[in-house]
Structure 1
Amino acid sequence: MTKEPFSNEISTPNKAQIEKKLAILPDLPGCYLMKNAQNEIIYVGKAKNLKNRVRSYFRGAHDTKTTKLVSEIHYFETIVTNSNKEALILEINLIQKYKPIYNIKLKDGTMYPYLKITREKDPQLIITNKVLKDGGLYFGPFPNVNAATSTQQLLHKVYPLRRCGKNEKRACFYYHIGQCIGCCDHPIQPEIYQAQITNIKRFFNGDVSAIKTELKQKMLSAAEKLEFEQAADYRDQIDYIETTVEKQHIMSQDYDNLDVFNYYYDRGWLSIQVFMLRQGSILKRKAAMYPTYSEKAPEEEVTTYIARFYTEQNHIMPKAILTPSDVDKKVLEEIFNVPVQTPLRGKKRSLLELCEKNAKLSLDEKFRLIELSTRKTIKAVEELADLLNIPQANYIESFDHSNIHGTHSVSGMVVYQEGKPDRKNYRKYKIKTVEGSNEFAHTQEIIRRRYTRLLKENKALPDLILMDGGIIQTRAARDVLENELGLAIPVAGMVKNDKHKTAALIDGYKEEMVEMNPHSQAFHFIQRVQEEVHRYAISYHRQVRSKNQFGSQLDSIEGVGPATRTKLLKHFKSLHKIKEASLEDLRALGITRPVAKRILNKLQ
């Protein structure tokens, strides 16, 4: 394998340079690394033939997602390997190292529980949700925690290991009832531990006859001694083995300890489903769904996904893996040294088909959710634009004011992009130039401040401005936009009924009510915008009012000026917390003792 080449120089968009590199690509297996203008690796892929694969990115038409990836490629590098197997291993390592934004992300889903025998001088049998490369012995996965706990409790009773902590100085309770090996009471020879571990391994391999025989003998012995509660406990343990462990072993003779992978690909999305079969139980994992950005065929993405499933997430290797026929079974067998098969008939074939069916259902559900979301957002703003007879309403800014009898006047602005709230661009405003309650003047000030700034900073202007109010607010906004700033941004007012619910929409230029179907997506969208901007403005008003009340009470205390008030506000956040503070707490902020005493006396 060739050494991985990387440059510290910042690459620049150079089409001629890319064309030169495309012309000298080798007809060999290997990996390719796509980089952006900042020299960041944004995609890693592998190919049996680097020339054909890498060229395909820069030739012909692509879907939207791949076009987006290609538009960000400013440079690429290739690494030649000796075989497709080496290319796959290198691809996995590079993805783990650089975590490129366009590669499939293996999210940590809900992990099923395992039983683990720890690797230490005095090993324990514990339940864990993580499989690590730490030398421990792992058994499972189990379908749920209850199943794992029941099996653990059984093994504690029959083949006990250490149950207590490492720092115990004397025998624990479990040792006296026969559920701990007693290493805190006396040293245990490694051979004894190994014998117990061997018995546990046999148990998980389905050899339960010895443990059943031992339990029956203990049950009869306890009954003869008239220890009926102990005998009943042994009986329950036998029942658990017969109804759970043995039953599962019989069920799973044809397909025990398998992992089944299948996928469904449609419209640029890949849905992968994994069934993990242990002791006859099908443990269904949530479908992994991703948009694909590469020129790889979907089966190649699935091959990489399976390899990463075991290398990145440390899942225990099964005895065999089932995959669809187009997955590269040979390279997976070489990497993991387990059979990788595509059954053609029987129960295993049914499992493979069931896996594909689940992958398809998951992807179909994803598309339905996307369609519903599109109707709720994109279709809604398209309807809104048609109603107002404007070209588009993809970028909307909406304003609302809040005050109490003209005091603490504030405004809030929310932003919607493609019908979705863009919260990072929300803005809060304190009214600075207007005294009292004057909706018209409040609106003029905020519109003037907002769009003067956008013009000054040469930033994009919205497609539509929505005012939470009627004709007064829309006229005020239009007056500033047209007469002061020379802008022709469409303005509309969101009118409420007497129950403070969205009732209508008013065209701010025609000053006419716009007919809206209350069951339409546009109407529901206007409702969401109006509720959001009202919530945002009200929450900001409460915040300002609370701070002003805080300040007004402190200002009446002799010796408390703006600097001291600011210190107290930043540190304690509320008057209640200052009231509960001690004299020394206030002194720690640099406040003199006499002033600190006056503050506490005033508030308390």
Structure 2
Amino acid sequence: MIKEKNEKRLERLKNIVLNMPEKPGSYQYYDDLRENGGTIIYVGKAKNLKRRVSSYFHKEVDRFKTKVLVSKIKDISYTVVNTEEDALLLENALIKKYNPRYNVLLKDGKTYPSIIVTNEFFPRIFKTRHINKRVGTYFGPYPHISSMYNVLALIQKAFKPRRCRQPITQEGIDMGKYRPCLEYHIHNCEGCCVGKQSREDYLENIRQAKEVLKGNTRELSEWVYKRMMANAELMKFEEAERLKERYLLLQDFVSKSEVVSHTINDVDVFTITDDDNKKNAYVNYIHVKNGTINQSFTYEYKRKLDESDEDLLIQAIPEIRERFGSKSKEIIVPFQMEWKLRDAEFFIPQRGDKKHLLELSEMNGKQYKFDRLKQTDKLNPEQKQTRLMKELQEKLHLEKLPYQIECFDNSNISGTDAVAGCIVYKGMKPSRKDYRKYNIKTVVGPDDYASMQEVVRRRYTRMINEHATLPDLIITDGGKGQMDIVREVVEDELHLHIPIAGLAKDDRHRTNELLFGFPAQVIGLKTDSELFHVLTQIQDEVHRFAITFHRDKRSKHALHSALDDIKGIGPKSKEALLKAFKSVKYIKGASIDQLATIIGKDKAQKVYDALNQQEPSNKQ
């Protein structure tokens, strides 16, 4: 009983893993189902969520700690982010919030360092792990310490902010209270403390340094580039090389992550994503507290009749906020809300960190929708096929569901060994027993249009005569030209009413358009959609089928010999002769008696006469 229960648990978890995205993010393990109030027992990060989490459930896992952890997992959740660095930051934030039992690192409360620009009369710029907004403006945090030090080094070199800790005032400068330190003498500081640099000039440098910390590296890049070129002209190649390294570093500068921002204190973020049939909607919720994401969850809602996104969202927001106990006064949403809440205000950010959070929430909502769709398709493949057929029916405005789809393709080399193939898909799956091969009989030379018309004519004439089920849709492996010549046969000659679509290729021979109608029009279908993928699969399959048939025919033609044209000489006789004489040339030079020892006198006479192009002979 316990074994069966454990197997069922593992099967459920593996199904969750199968539907996880191959994207960066943070994953969380629970000791019970989330709907039952499960507690987070482990938080991890991954560059590839699916690959990382699936590694926990491999049989070859031999670490005792990992085995114990896996035995405790009852549920899994995850949050998708844009980069591996964001995943690292989110993992850090969640570990500090939940203090999971099986996380042994990052529990000491330490955080990644940030860079501060102080609010002093002459501001300083340095690294810190302590956040106090009254002291200054913070940038970061920086999970990669080396990146932070490189940025600080660039700022020190370019703008020379002071490094001394003394509180400098204008009064002190006027009174000559300060003395320049070593940094001034080694040209790391302009000497603001002794009036060598005006406060106006100093603050302008600080402003530019802030732009660098925000990720706006253009001004500093130009400065470094000019310095690099100047040193090169002066033949100071070592200095120029050093500046070149810093210039390249600036290009790869990692700006602060959208996962953590000290400018955002206590905010809720909500977005809504529809499923394809508009029956369900997925509301994603992100909560940011003290600049850190500490909640991320997606809920599925069933739509009521004619319920708008705003109606559904205004219903979901209070429910979710109450469930998580959120008291945030600011709620970020993707569109204008006519409804008002008593205890909070709605905001629609247009740029900056809050806009990034909105995009992150939308990404997680879409990912959840994708996961649900994959899970449903896996449990019920027929539902997926029906969904795709309905989508195609709607896109092409077909009268009936395109259950049976047929596709044609020609194959030849300069008109020789010309063949064609027809494949059949039923319910969006290949029906290989219905595939048909055709040798082109009436067309001479390389004429794809005439060959296509011959094959289409032969196929549907026979289907009419045999009262076979005609297709619901014909797809041509080509654009408007192919569609038109197929229509001439189907509609004008055979008077059939079968919808005809075409798949056109771009200049690089990649399928990029679905065509339909007369005259043919481009159908708005995203090339990365599941339906487009199935249609290109059909196109690839008919191409494979036709070209394989052509290769087989060409191979047989290449192996054809004069013996194949002799009436009464079968494969076994041919094989015996070739085995004995090695080639047709030596068979032709053999006497009738020599041939007779292999295949008998009657057949020997036929072979001898046929190969030597003479009347029957009595030559012994």
TM range (shorter): 0.3 to 0.5
Larger radius of gyration: 2
The normalised TM-score by structure 1 is 0.34
